[in-house]
Amino acid sequence: MAFTRAAVTAIVDDALRCDIAELLLIGTPATSVVQHIIWRGINANTAAAEVAQAANSPYLRGADRLCAQLQKRDWLLANAARLHRLRRDGDSVPRYHQLDGEIFFADFYCANRPVLVTGLVDKWPARQNWSFEGLARDFGSIDVDVQWRRDGNPLYEIQADAHVARQNFGAIIRRILDDGPSNDFYVTAFNSGHNKQALAALWHDIGTIPGWLTPAEACDGFFWMGPQGTITPFHHDLANNLMVQIAGRKRVKLVAAAETPRMRNSRHCFSDWQGDDLAAGPGDAERPPVLEVILEPGDALFLPIGWWHHAEGLAPTIGMSFINFACDNDFYSHYVSFGPL
């Protein structure tokens, strides 16, 4: 016997009532909500009665004020995004060479604007010492943590805990060099709990950025290493971040923090947009404008708090990221939105 939707009799439970309430609160017409729950297997008369009861509930009407507040905030964010696009350089990421720290904080950090800077780390020993062959020779016997077997899970970033594995550093490097493009494994900042100790000697090769970062302490910064083809999907950080490229090239797509209402942010700091969904360009009513930069060895990219970004390894890459700015960067201690949104 063929299965049909009409053959199913579903139960109206609290989970379904939550779905009805959410649809009504976001402005879905009542007739469309009725059709949605009929599709879920609810009798038409029951569906209409449930939606009418929800629409007339004082509990639901009590949320109207909150919805109005959220709409007001979305309006303000849309205006901020529009004003950013009106800037003379609003359609690209500004580029500077050896930008002075005072100008950086005034024009970018405090203005919540990204910037790509060259020449900040040219004198770091890491720029000369960190080759894949050299790291394999000097640290190949060490075991490090790595994000492992990511290909089988489209939620590998959200479920990062499930992908932590301890592997031989030399074997990881050989796989990077011998196996070609892959997104199946990647040594990331998420692995720093163990790796800052295991690879502590590497931090001797990290210099300072006077006027930008606080004086270096033991193991400041986060180590990144992966093959060509690694993907960090669209997300935003909970602090301002400086991404420093040591070896290899990366493509980074960025979306302004004020565009968050268009970023399909359904959980924590992650977007439902895929990298290919949002191409660099002006965007449209549904898709936000996207800026794009290519990071070359020695480049430093400032990622402002709340800015969405997507990174793709265009070659085997080694990099660092830093949050120890010489300015207040505690934007995460009062963050509470870790679950569904």
Q: Which two tokens stand for residue 103?
A: 């100008």
Work out the mean pLDDT of the chain and round it to a whole number.
93
Which of 61, 83, 104 represents a domain boundary (last residue)? Answer: 61
Residue 202 falls inside a structural domain: yes
Residue type, 136: A
Q: Is 164 found in the same domain as 23?
A: no
pTM of the model: 0.89
Q: Which two tokens stand for residue 214?
A: 């606080």
Q: What's the average model confidence in pLDDT over 221-235?
A: 97
pLDDT tens per residue across span 4-35 = 444 446 788 988 999 999 899 888 999 999 99
In which band, very low, low, confident or very high, does the pLDDT at 298 lie, cut at 50, 70 and 90? very high
- Judged by phi (left if over 0) then psi (alpha if -120 to 50, else beta), residue 148 lies in beta
Its domain, for residue 36, covers: 5-61
Q: What's the average model confidence in pLDDT over 90-112?
A: 96
Q: What is the pLDDT of residue 338?
A: 93
Q: What is the pLDDT of residue 62?
A: 85
- Which strands make up the sheet holding 231-236, listed edge to edge? 231-236, 308-313, 250-255, 291-295
Q: Helices 132-139 and 169-178, interaxial angle, to 10°?
A: 160
Q: What is the pLDDT of residue 218?
A: 61
Q: What's the average model confidence in pLDDT over 227-234?
A: 98
Task: Select from 247, 249, 241, 261 the least CA-distant residue to 309.
Answer: 241
Q: What is the pLDDT of residue 224?
A: 98
Please give the residue that has the higher pLDDT: either 249 or 275: 249
pLDDT tens per residue across span 63-80 = 888 888 989 999 999 999
Q: Is 104 found in the same domain as 57?
A: no
Q: Is 182 found in the same domain as 103?
A: yes
Q: Is 99 found in the same domain as 55?
A: no
Q: Is 316 found in the same domain as 187?
A: yes
Q: Is 202 found in the same domain as 118?
A: yes
Is the distance from CB of 230 to CB of 317 less than 8 angstroms?
Answer: yes
Task: Select from 292, 306, 321 the least CA-distant residue to 190.
Answer: 321
Number of domains in the chain: 2
Q: What is the pLDDT of residue 9?
A: 60
pLDDT at 1 over 50: no
Q: What is the pLDDT of residue 22?
A: 87
Q: What is the pLDDT of residue 25?
A: 87
pLDDT tens per residue across span 183-227 = 999 999 999 999 999 999 999 999 999 999 998 666 689 999 999
Collapse the DSSP code of 197 into the 3-class scheme (helix H, G, I; strand E, B; otherwise coil) and give the result: helix
Task: Select from 240, 242, 246, 222 the least CA-distant residue to 319.
Answer: 246
Question: What one-character DSSP code corresponds to residue 159?
Answer: T
Q: What is the pLDDT of residue 2?
A: 42
